[in-house]
Structure 1
Amino acid sequence: MSKELIQVKKWMGASLAAIMLFGLVAGISNAAVTAPTFVSVVMDGYKIWFPDAQAFVDDNNRTLVPVRFVAEKMKAKVGWESDTMTVPIERGDHQILLTVGSSKALVNGEEVTFDTKAIMQKERTFVPLRFISEVLGAEVKWDASTSTVFITTKEDAVAKYDEWGRLIRTTDLPKNAADYPYILADVPNEMYELEYPYSHKTDSEVSASLYANYPELKKENIDIWIDRLKKYGAVLLNVEYSTMDYGWADDLFANKLQLNGSELKYIKQYVDWVKENKIRVEGYLDPEPSMIYRDGFGNNYVRSKFRVKFTSFNENKNLLYDKWFPNEFSFEKNVWYEGFTDVAMGTNVGGNWGKTLKVNTLASLFFNHTIEKVGETK
C-alpha cells in the first residue's frame, strides 16, 4: 500500500531548546499492556521491520517471532489452514506443518518437540526461536543486552558488519555520510539525511566525531542506552485504558532522567486522561546505535525508527505522554504510522557518564521527526 506523507518535521525554537537544559526496568507493568519490550530481529545483517505484529519475549522468557515474515525472508512458502489452525511451510526439500497451540511440529513427517507452544496473537502465528534454528535450518543467537535476535542463513566472507551485526554499505550513500562512522545497508538515506535538532552553533557534534573522540561511546555503554530506549518506547507506545493504573506511570518514569520526582505527577495525570478518554495504543521504538548526535545544550540524541497505531480514543488529543504531541493532526484509528525521530537522552553525572544516560525529561517523538501513514490493518 502506498504511503501518505502526513507531516515532515516540527521544530522547537531556541527558547524551548533552552528548557531542555533542565533536563532499567525489568519489564512492563501488567497495568500497561501485555506487550513486552520490543525485540529487534536481524537476519544476515539486515534488520527486519515487521508490518504489524512484532517479536517479543513472553512471561517465561522465551523469545517468539512471527513465523510468516521470518520464513518468507528465508525464501520459504507459508500457508494457513484455518479449519485445523495449522501453518504449512515449504523450504527446499522440507515440508513443515506447524499447529497453533502445540509444542510439536511435523518436519517431513517426523515429529519435533519444542520447549514452548506456537501461539496466535494479533492474527499472527508466533513460534519460539528454537523453531527457526532447528526446523528452518538457520543459526540463531540472542543478545539479551539489546533484546536482539540474530538469524544467520548464509556466510559472506567479504561483507563488513558493525559491532551490532549489521551489514555496512559503501554505495548509494547519503549526502551527509561523513557525519556517521559508517552507513548501514538496511537503513534508508532518508533516515540519515533528516536534519538535526535545534543545536548550539559551535558545540554540537555529529556521530562520527562522537565515536572518534569520546571513550564513553563504546558498545558496552551504548547497549545500555539502546535497552533503556526500547523499554521506554515499549511503555510509552503501548497503552490500554481498561487496565491502566499508576504502575504504568512508575514504569515510564523509571526510564527517564530523574532530576527530581516532579515529573511523576504529570505522568499520573496522563494515566487519568487515558482512562477518561479511553485511549488504546500499540507501537514500538527502535533506536540505531550508530546514529547519535549532541546538540551542545547537554542532550545526546539517538535517532530511532518508531511505529504507532491508535485503536481507541474519544477525543483526538494528547494520545501519548508527549509534551509535543501533534494535537493539530487528526490521527485515524486502526492505522499504522511510522517515522524517524531523535530522542533526547541526558545525565546529571560528570566524568565517566557512559552508563548513566536516560531519556530526557522533555524528550519527544515529535520534536524532530518524520511520520507517514502506512495503512489500515484488519
Structure 2
Amino acid sequence: MRKGILASLVAALIFSLFSATASAANKPPSFVSVVMDGQKIWFPDAQAFVDENGRTLVPVRFIAKKMGANVGWEPKTMTVPIERDDLHIVLTIGESKALVNGQEMVFDTKAITSGGRTFVPLRFVSEALGAQVDWDSPTSTVFISTKEDDHENYDEWGRLIRTTNLPKNAKDYPYILADVPNEAYELAYPYSHPTDSKVSSVLYSTIPEFNKKNVDIWMNRLKTFGALWLNVDYNTIDDTWAQAVFATKVQSSNAELKYIRRYVDWVKENKIQIEGFLDPEPSMIYKDGFGNNYVRSKFRIKFNSFTESKNLLYDEHFPNDRKFETQVWYEGYADISLSTNVGGDWGSTLKVDPGASLFRNYLIGKADSK
C-alpha cells in the first residue's frame, strides 16, 4: 500500500465528485474513494466531496471517530474542537486556519457546514491526528494509514485481505476483502451461459486483459457513469447530462441517446431528485459467456423528491412496484455490466453496457445511519 506522506496530497487532486448540479457541468463528475488502513470508508449520511479549491472535505465527526478522537461543537464561536489524548485541535467554520495545541496552523481551504454537517479538509485533519496520507491518481483514491501494517496482506488496490470467516464460494475470487461482507460474495451470479461463464479467480489467472492497468480504466468508467446515473435534479438536468451518460456506454446505435433524452424529459416532468454513489469492486468481476463482464459494485441511493414513484432511475429494470421512501438512504450491491464491440486486444475498450442495471441482480436495504 502507498505509504509516504505527500508534500501536497491534492495538488493534482481531484477532478470533481458528484453533486446535484454536476449533471449540467461540462465534465462528468468523478467518484473519490477514501481507504483507511486498507478498508474503504462509507460515510453514513454525507459523503466526502471536493470544494472549489480542489480539496477533499469530509464529515469531521465520522472521520475523527475512526481515528479515535472526540469531536465537539461550539455554536457561539462556530468552532469545532477535536481531542485525542493530549492533542487538541480547534477549527473555525469559514476559516482556513486552526489551532493545534495552541499553535496556529494554516491550510489551503476552509472548514464549512453543509446539510447540517461539518466538513473539514481531509488531509489537514488526518495528518494532524498523526495519520499518513497518500493519493493514488489512477484510481482516484485517498489512502489514510493510522498504523504500521508490515504484517498485513493487501491487494494491488491497497485493500486489506482477510483469511477467516470466508464466504462459501471463496474459491471463485482471487482473494476476500476485509471490508466486503460475505453476503456480497455469495450473491447469485447473473444469468449466464453454463459452459462459457467465468468467475473472477479464473479471469485474473487466465485472461491477459485482466491486469491492473486495464481494470483501473474500467473502474473509472463505471465510477463516472455512476456519478452521473445516480445523481439527477429536475432543476438542472439537461441534454449535456444525456450526452455525458451516453458517452460512458458502448456505442452501438444512437437509439439509446433518444431513450436517455426521454428520461431527461421525465425527470423534469416528474420532479425527480436523486443522489447516490457507485463504487465498483475490481476483484469481483464475472463473465457471463454472452459478452458481458459484470462488476459487483456497492451503491447508495436516496430519492429526495418525485411526483410518481416510477422510473426514477434510467434503468429498464427499475422496480416500479416497490415504493421507495423519500429522504432515506438505501444501499446494497449490484452487478453492473460492461461490454465491448472491439475484437482482438479489447482490454482497454470495455465500457458500460447499454443494458446496465442497478436492479437486475442486486441486494438492497436501508442504509445503517450510525
User: What's the TM-score, normalizing by structure 2?
Assistant: 0.91
**For 2:124 and 2:104, how far apart are their aligned partners in 1?**
12
Out of 108-117 and 29-38, give the one that drifted further.
29-38
Alignment pair present for 1:52 and 2:45: yes
Residues 113-132 of structure 1 correspond to what in structure 2 (within 5 A)?
113-132=106-125
**For 1:223 and 1:289, how far apart are their aligned partners in 2?**
8
8 Å Cα contact 2:22-2:29 kept in structure 1? no
Out of 347-356 and 180-189, give the one that drifted further.
347-356
Out of 134-143 and 302-311, give the one that drifted further.
134-143
- Residue 305 of structure 1 deviates from its aligned partner by 0.5
Q: CA 1:305/1:369 → structure 2, altered by over 3 Å: closer, same or farther?
A: same
Q: Percent identity?
A: 68
8 Å Cα contact 2:82-2:88 kept in structure 1? yes
Alignment pair present for 1:32 and 2:23: yes
Out of 348-357 and 30-39, give the one that drifted further.
30-39
**For 1:209 and 1:31, how far apart are their aligned partners in 2?**
38
State the AA in 2 paired with 1:73: K
1:98-131 deviation line (CA, Å, top 9, x unaligned)? 1121111111111111111112222222222331
**For 1:342 and 1:74, how far apart are their aligned partners in 2?**
32
Out of 76-85 and 368-377, give the one that drifted further.
368-377
**For 1:240 and 1:84, how far apart are their aligned partners in 2?**
35
Report the secondary structure of 1:208's partner residue. helix
- Residue 236 of structure 1 deviates from its aligned partner by 0.7
**For 2:46 and 2:284, how far apart are their aligned partners in 1?**
26
Report the secondary structure of 1:282's partner residue. strand
Report the secondary structure of 1:32's partner residue. helix
Which residue of 1 is the match for residue 60 of structure 2?
67
Matched positions, count: 352
8 Å Cα contact 2:44-2:369 kept in structure 1? no
Report the secondary structure of 1:342's partner residue. strand
**For 1:58 and 1:223, how far apart are their aligned partners in 2?**
25
Which residue of 1 is the match for residue 258 of structure 2?
265
8 Å Cα contact 1:38-1:55 kept in structure 2? no
Q: Of 129, 134, 137, which aligns to 1:141?
A: 134
Out of 152-161 and 30-39, give the one that drifted further.
30-39
8 Å Cα contact 2:92-2:111 kept in structure 1? yes
1:275-328 deviation line (CA, Å, top 9, x unaligned)? 110000011001111000000000001000100000100000100111100001
**For 1:142 and 1:65, how far apart are their aligned partners in 2?**
15
**For 2:357 and 2:76, how far apart are their aligned partners in 1?**
45
Residues 109-258 of structure 1 correspond to what in structure 2 (within 5 A)?
109-258=102-251
1:230-254 deviation line (CA, Å, top 9, x unaligned)? 1111111111111121111112112
8 Å Cα contact 1:335-1:375 kept in structure 2? no
User: What's the TM-score, normalizing by structure 1?
Assistant: 0.89
Which residue of 1 is the match for residue 5 of structure 2?
none
Which residue of 1 is the match for residue 324 of structure 2?
331
- Residue 31 of structure 1 deviates from its aligned partner by 5.7
**For 1:217 and 1:301, how far apart are their aligned partners in 2?**
13
Q: Which runs of 5+ in 1 are unaligned?
A: 1-25
1:212-270 deviation line (CA, Å, top 9, x unaligned)? 01111111111111111111111111111111211111121121111122211111111
State the AA in 1 paired with 2:23: A
8 Å Cα contact 1:257-1:347 kept in structure 2? yes
Q: Which runs of 5+ in 2 are unaligned?
A: 1-14
- Residue 349 of structure 1 deviates from its aligned partner by 1.1
Out of 73-82 and 298-307, give the one that drifted further.
73-82
**For 2:324 and 2:229, how far apart are their aligned partners in 1?**
17
State the AA in 2 paired with 1:77: N
Output the aligned Cα RMSD.
Answer: 1.8
Report the secondary structure of 1:220's partner residue. helix
**For 2:24 and 2:163, how far apart are their aligned partners in 1?**
41
**For 1:162 and 1:284, how far apart are their aligned partners in 2?**
23
Q: Which one scores higher on RCO, CA 8 angstroms, separation ≥ 6?
A: 1
- Residue 376 of structure 1 deviates from its aligned partner by 7.8
1:132-165 deviation line (CA, Å, top 9, x unaligned)? 3431221111112222110001112111000011
